[in-house]
Amino acid sequence: MRDVNLKYLRELLEKDVNITEYLKRKQGVDFNTSKIIEIAYDLQSGSYIEFSENNKLYMESYAEWAAHIIGQYAGRDNKTILDAGTGEITTFSYVLTALNNKNIEMVPYCFDISWSRLYAGKQWIQKKFPKHYAAHAFCSNLLSIPLHSDSIDVVTTFHALEPNGGKEEEIFKELLRISKKCLILFEPSYENNSIEGKKRMERLGYVKGLPELINTSEAKLIDVIPFNNPLNDLNPTHAYIIQTMKKQSIDKNFEVHYTIPGTDLTLEFQKDSYYSRDQGISYPIISGIPILKNELAILSTYKDKVQNEHQNEEFSY
């Protein structure tokens, strides 16, 4: 995508051109690649904050509905929650507030493919929801999540799967890998949509077939609940409540560590990066946000040599 003219894309966006459709035509593909999704949403950074500011009552109503479902199906004994594909952290912040109002508190984690959206969101949260500013936010991809297997009690998405039509199985397997107890996916339902809505989802490359996919995996679809007050009748939100079929063990140490994306190889925090001794690679941190994408890993094997020399010096006296 090096031939993409971002200035021109901004001009198209200002003219209400659908960037994902434009990029698909330009690249000659009939699905949304990860890079297309990243570019399209990165260019929209700030728009979801603006929407939430202008639609506070709707956001609170939606968050109350989502928090009720999370509390009802996930329970109150969970320690961690992750919002995958969190965007500008707007919906997640409202939901965390609604959960807190129900005396349900979990250590929050969230990530998005777009660094700009996370950066915009963290600035907004600092003013709007200071209690949630400390939420662990990192930049990554739904296809390769930088967390240990079975490390998160409750995994949520809020229309994050939506533009990933054709990659449903791959993404769901990754979400299931990191989840310990349950997943609650707030996504559009192709199966329950109108004929017009289905055509729109097909044209935009949205997900479909989630119920069948879930029921053929190592998980159980408990329920599918519609949100009865959608902003767009052609894109109705449904909550997919999914229980993992994993054996539960007593785990007193619930601390979550970042890993090489898609693996269980732990990364070490080193001031301006996260480092893997196993692979000799580093992932940068920009403005406090870790960039944990495999394609952005930096070969840095010399770090171990320097650290070993320092350790030898410390014990040479």
pLDDT tens digits for 151-185?
999 999 999 999 999 999 999 999 999 999 999 99
120 token code pair: 């915009």
Q: Where in the chain is the domain with CATH 2.20.25?
A: 268-314
- Total-model pTM: 0.91
Q: Is 271 left (phi over 0), alpha (psi -120 to 50) or beta?
A: left
Distance (Å, whole) CA 137 – CA 83: 9
State how far the alpha carbon of 129 is from the alpha carbons of 21, 119, 124, 254, 290, in Å.
Answer: 34, 15, 8, 25, 21
127 token code pair: 């003013």
pLDDT of residue 315: 32
Q: Where in the chain is the domain with CATH 3.40.50.150?
A: 55-244
pLDDT of residue 75: 83
The three-state DSSP-derived secondary structure of 173-208 is: HHHHHHEEEEEEEEEECCCCCCHHHHHHHHHHCCCC
Residues contacting residue 170 through CB under 8 Å, at least 6 positions apart = 143
The three-state DSSP-derived secondary structure of 123-143 is: HHHHHHCHHHCCCEEEECECC
Q: Is 115 left (phi over 0), alpha (psi -120 to 50) or beta?
A: alpha
The mean pLDDT of 2-28, rounded to a whole number, is 90
CATH pick for 268-314 out of 3.40.50, 1.10.3210, 1.20.1260, 2.20.25: 2.20.25
Q: Which residue has the tokens 């960039």?
A: 291
pLDDT of residue 2: 60
The SS3 of residue 270 is coil
Domain 55-244 carries which CATH code? 3.40.50.150
Lowest model confidence (mean pLDDT) among 19-23, 37-41, 90-94, 244-248: 244-248
